[in-house]
Amino acid sequence: MSKKFVIVGLGLIGGSMAMALKGFEDFTIVGVDVSQPTLRYAREHGICDSVTENAGEAVEGADVVMLACHPQGILDFLEEHKNRFKPGCLVTDVCGVKAAILEGAKCLPEGVDFIGCHPMAGTEFSGIQNAFPEMFRDSHLILTPREESTPDHIALLERLAVHAGFRDVIQTTPEQHDAILAYTSQMMHVIALSVCDDPNLFVCKGFEGSSFRGCTRVAALDVGLWTQLFSLNAPALTACLDTFIAHLQDYRAVIASGDREKLREKLTFSSDRKRQMNLPGPDLLN
């Protein structure tokens, strides 16, 4: 008998995950969404084996439930459905903050496992119509298991990663995940947004080179999602921003001083760091 893999939320990531998991072992993929157009799209395009708007029914008897909603939606879902998961069920998620989600998952009854999950992939678009099965190819899948998470469940997510085409699976703590993501992801979005706040933005239309497009691409973001990601990771994100602003101010001071030798030294220092980052072989957290 096939096992039941429920994906709650068929947006960009949930939809892509459903597509990427087609044929994964003996799982039947059940998609859940509150939006009728999304369900219709999923049905018409064969995104899942079946779809439903009834989350409660879908969750019952499920072997794996992957919550692919916005962070607050995940927290609300856990609270609302905590008593519907069957014992031994693995609940996981796909969102970009982990400490707040793991905290929320403490409401689950004993015997229901939760492993935080963050597929490091995405685009600046949203919605199932932008989903595609290669979304995760060569990306990292970050896992933040609980202490009591079972090796079987971790192994299941590792096989899932292989099937969906992830480059690797990295285990870390929710706190480390959040500190790193504040820097590598959330701050990049704050930078892109702040650049676009410049009053001369539209005067410059047509003069954007690849550096401008590269820096600001992600500013066209999903407002609801990123409001939650920034809010739920505020301490780590503001700490990163403080460090970044201090480094910007150092550059500003040296540029204003007219001291070309000092400026050259600073450029050498920073560009060498970037070149070192570009070298092959990731220095991953253990």
- Minimum CB distance to a copy of itself smaller for 148 or for 207: 207
Confirm or reject binding of residue 286 to a copy of itself (CB under 8 A): no
Task: Check binding of 31 to a copy of itself (CB under 8 A).
Answer: no
Neighbours of 70 (CB within 10 A): 19
AA letter at 86: K
Assess 175 for contact with a copy of itself (CB under 8 A).
no
Asked if 166 and 17 count as a contact pair (C-beta separation under 8 A), the reply is no
Of the candidate residues 3, 53, 63, 120, the single one contacting a copy of itself (CB under 8 A): 120
Return d(Cα 154, Cα 4) in angstroms, integer: 17
Return all residues near 182 (Cβ < 8 A) that are at least 6 apart: 233, 236, 237, 239, 240
**Residue from 1, 23, 202, 286 that binds a copy of itself (CB under 8 A)?**
202
Least distance in angstroms from the C-beta of 94 to a copy of itself = 14
Residue 125 binds a copy of itself (CB under 8 A): no
CB of 217 vs a copy of itself, minimal distance in Å:
6
- With CB under 8 A as the contact rule, which of the stretches 36-44, 81-89, 156-164, 274-282 interacts with a copy of itself? 274-282
169 binds a copy of itself (CB under 8 A): no
**Which residues 65-94 are close enough to bind a copy of itself by CB under 8 A?**
none
Q: Where in 217-246 is the site for a copy of itself (CB under 8 A)?
A: 217-221, 223-224, 226-228, 230-231, 234, 237-238, 240-245
**Residues whose CB falls within 8 Å of the CB of residue 34, separated by 6 or more in sequence, listed in order:** 53
Of these, 58, 121, 128, 156, which contacts a copy of itself (CB under 8 A)? 121
| Of the residues 87, 151, 258, 286, which one makes contact with a copy of itself according to CB under 8 A | 258
Residues forming beta bridges with residue 168, ordered by sequence position: 140
Spatial CB neighbours of 116, under 8 Å, sequence gap ≥ 6: 92, 93, 98, 101, 102, 105, 143, 144, 145, 174, 177
215 binds a copy of itself (CB under 8 A): yes
User: Which is it for the CA torsion 264, 270, 273, 279, positive or negative?
Assistant: negative
User: Residue 195 in 3-state DSSP?
Assistant: helix
Q: Is 129 in the site for a copy of itself (CB under 8 A)?
A: no
- The CA–CA distances, whole Å, from 152 to 102, 149, 174, 217 equal 19, 8, 20, 39
Q: How far is the CB of 240 from a copy of itself (least distance, A)?
A: 7
Say if residues 192 and 215 touch (Cβ distance below 8 Å).
yes
DSSP secondary structure letter of residue 217 = G
Indicate the residue among 27 and 230 with the shorter CB distance to a copy of itself. Answer: 230
Which CB sits closer to a copy of itself, 111 or 224? 224
Q: Which is nearer to a copy of itself, 155 or 201 (CB)?
A: 201
